[in-house]
């Protein structure tokens, strides 16, 4: 199979490509604009493989994207290209609207035209997999879970733009018959994640002896999903999921933000050389700061549909996945330094509201 992946230089996209090249026989084209969070260093281990190609392309450029389709002739699309950081969306929502909504609309139209030109047998086997987030559902109370039937109630410019893209994908399926599947996942973590996100930011700040900023009281709850588990789920949906269906993907790992940071500190206390640890331990660096505007209180995924119908379950516990993540960052300081050579220097974003 020839799989075109948008956003393949990002965190989840690069993990997906590494899995497809290392664990399957499929051919992969990585289409990426290479924004600040896109990093081809994350694909160094597969870049020489004959089954992997990279195309520097912005999904907002219709003609350029059309040319890519005509040359590569994909059998399937996995759409991960997106602006994805909530704080950054608060400071500058227009980029999120452009990439997540306009870019997705372009991709759908290019895919529809390409799909319509295929022979009937190829049309029947074609599929577009749209990868989305649980943040489109808004905030939960203390009980309950997001299911595939949960109404959308996005809170941030980021989640609103992703909700819009989900609706577009469903509309292209219902109106034009474009064969699609959609997944909504919980918070991903793992190696190669850009350090504006919670876990790598806390790890790198702690190693530099910097404050570990906790928004509000830190009791916001997220369900954490190790990125390699997510990648396996994405492939299961692409290959075995039912056209037109949506699948929620979660890690069964609900944690408060404060508990996540405390766990990071405790592991660092154990694995970092005592000479570079704070005297009172890494927890002493925790600092509470003003909360994010519109901060959702709790996310939790009901992943029973994908578990029952496709047989997928996460392999990592929160504890095993977190330790793997921390050890990876400790062993890849050069990667961390390179991805911060640009405009982002771990400063707080999302304060413009």
Catalytic residue at 158?
Answer: yes
Buried b or exposed e, range 147-173, using 16+ CB within 10 angstroms: ebebeeebbbbbbbbbbbbbebbbebb
Catalytic residue at 23?
Answer: no
**Do the bridges between strand 76-79 and strand 127-133 make them parallel or antiparallel, or are there none, so unpaired?**
parallel
Task: Indicate the burial class of 295 (C-beta count within 10 angstroms; 0-12, 13-18, 19 or more).
Answer: middle
SS3 state at 237: helix
Distance CA 242, CA 327 (A): 38
- Return all residues near 331 (Cβ < 8 A) that are at least 6 apart: none
Q: Which residues pair with 3 in a beta bridge?
A: 28, 76
Active-site entry in 134, 223, 228, 316? 134
- Return all residues near 277 (Cβ < 8 A) that are at least 6 apart: 268, 269
Catalytic residue at 323?
Answer: no
Distance CA 35, CA 41 (A): 13
Active-site entry in 114, 158, 189, 247? 158
Active-site entry in 87, 135, 166, 254? 135
Task: Indicate the burial class of 51 (C-beta count within 10 angstroms; 0-12, 13-18, 19 or more).
Answer: middle
Distance CA 279, CA 159 (A): 40
Other C-beta atoms lying within 10 Å of the C-beta of residue 323: 17
Instruction: Locate 34 and state its tokens.
Output: 């290479």
Buried b or exposed e, range 214-252, using 16+ CB within 10 angstroms: bbeebebbbbbbbbbbbbbbbbbbbeebeeeebbbbbbb
**Do the bridges between strand 221-226 and strand 254-256 make them parallel or antiparallel, or are there none, so unpaired?**
antiparallel
Cβ atoms 223, 250 nearer than 8 A: yes
Active-site residues: which are they?
Answer: 134-135, 158
């Amino acid at each position: 199979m020839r799989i075109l992946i948008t956003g393949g230089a990002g965190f989840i996209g690069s993990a997906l490509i590494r899995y497809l090249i290392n664990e399957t026989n499929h051919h992969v084209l990585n289409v990426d604009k290479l924004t600040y969070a896109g990093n081809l260093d994350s694909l160094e281990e597969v870049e020489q493989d004959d089954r992997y190609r990279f195309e520097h392309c912005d999904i907002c450029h219709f003609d350029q994207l059309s040319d890519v389709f005509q040359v590569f002739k994909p059998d399937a699309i996995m759409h991960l290209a997106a602006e994805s950081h909530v704080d950054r969306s608060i400071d500058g929502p227009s980029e999120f609207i452009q990439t997540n909504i306009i870019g997705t609309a372009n991709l759908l139209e290019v895919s529809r035209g390409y799909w319509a030109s295929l022979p009937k047998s190829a049309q029947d086997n074609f599929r577009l997999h749209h990868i989305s987030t649980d943040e489109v559902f808004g905030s939960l109370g203390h009980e309950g879970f997001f299911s595939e039937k949960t109404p959308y109630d996005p809170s941030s410019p980021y989640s609103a733009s992703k909700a819009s893209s989900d609706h577009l994908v469903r509309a292209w399926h219902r109106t034009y018959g474009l064969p699609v599947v959609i997944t909504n996942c919980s918070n991903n973590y793992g190696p190669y994640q850009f350090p504006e996100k919670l876990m790598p930011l806390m790890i790198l700040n702690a190693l530099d002896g910097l404050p570990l900023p906790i928004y509000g009281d830190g009791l916001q709850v997220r369900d954490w999903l190790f990125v390699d588990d997510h990648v396996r789920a994405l492939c299961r949906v692409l290959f075995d999921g039912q056209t037109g269906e949506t699948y929620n993907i979660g890690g069964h790992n609900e944690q408060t933000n404060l508990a996540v940071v405390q766990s990071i500190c405790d592991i660092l206390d154990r694995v970092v050389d005592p000479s570079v640890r704070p005297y009172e331990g890494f927890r002493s660096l925790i600092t509470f700061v003003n909360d994010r505007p519109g901060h959702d209180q709790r996310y939790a995924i009901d992943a029973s549909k994908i578990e029952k119908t496709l047989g997928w379950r996460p392999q990592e516990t929160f504890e095993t996945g977190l330790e793997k993540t921390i050890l990876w960052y400790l062993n890849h300081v050069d990667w961390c330094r390179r991805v911060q050579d640009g405009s982002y220097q771990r400063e707080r974003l999302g304060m413009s509201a």
